[in-house]
Amino acid sequence: MTDSILHAEAFDGVLQLQLRAPEVRNALSAEMKRALHEQARRFVEDDGLRCLLITGCDAVFCAGGDLRTMQSDRSTVGVRRRMALTHASVRLLAECEKPIVTAVNGAAVGAGLSLALMGDVVVAAEDAYFMAGFANVGVLPDMGVLYHLPRTVGRVQANDLLLSNRRVNAQEALGLGLVSRVLPADGFLAQAQALARSIAAGPAVSFGLARALMAGAYKDSFGEFLLKESLAQAVVFGTDDFAEGVSAFGDKRKPRFTGR
């Protein structure tokens, strides 16, 4: 059943997750959240998977939470139980030392915006759009969007997007810094896959430590950051990938990294 709503495919060090629930516009139902958690754990624990690619199907990336699920149990206990499942996946992805690419193929609304911002690299199809959406149903913006959005576009722009609930097209999203690049809709997934492959082929230890350092930089002092940087660099200098990179540079060839 999992594969019918969340298709998982591994190739060339990439784990691709494609949301496939077009009848509900790829909404994050309880079943979808459980599937995401299962695959997030798989990604974190499998050393052979070095980049995660998340995308949607048809013209929708993710239209947010499943309102049917939300209304099924509005008690404090019920809400906190659902949030615990959501947060388990979000924390796994946020805290892992592996890069994530989110490929926004269409509408990213509500929790879909939150999911898109989980990416270290966020690419959008030229016909994609973003909208906070939470105000439409009177719910608190969740899945970490209140954490990630102001860090991505700044506090004032984040408030504008959340309070106005306006629709942002791909080009405006690029200008705001919501996405790193806009790609043609034709062949979009293939281009996103090529990007994920290139990242997966990189020096995994270096990439992972850089991700962790960047995440911690928001709370560390500059001195604390530099100390962590020096410790991380000492680890990287001991990797096979560093030796291969230096060798390849001297030989004037493309390095063949192994992730070790």
> In the chain, what are the domain boundaries?
2-200, 204-251
pLDDT tens, position by position, 132-173: 999 888 999 999 999 999 999 999 999 999 999 999 999 999
* Confidence grade of residue 1 (pLDDT, cut at 50, 70, 90): very low
pLDDT tens, position by position, 21-61: 999 999 999 899 999 999 999 999 999 999 999 999 989 99
What pLDDT sits at residue 93?
95
3-class SS string, 27-68:
CECHHHHHHHHHHHHHHHHCCCCCEEEEECECCEEECCECHH
Mean pLDDT of 212-233: 96
What pLDDT sits at residue 16?
99
pLDDT tens, position by position, 204-222: 999 999 999 999 998 999 9
What pLDDT sits at residue 4?
84
| Best CA proximity match to 61, nearest among 130, 132, 147 | 130
* Confidence grade of residue 123 (pLDDT, cut at 50, 70, 90): very high
Q: What is the mean pLDDT of the chain?
A: 94
pLDDT tens, position by position, 59-94: 999 999 877 776 667 788 888 888 898 899 999 999
CA 96 – CA 86 distance, rounded (Å) = 16
The CATH code for residues 2-200 is 3.90.226.10
Percentage of residues in the chain with pLDDT exceeding 70?
97
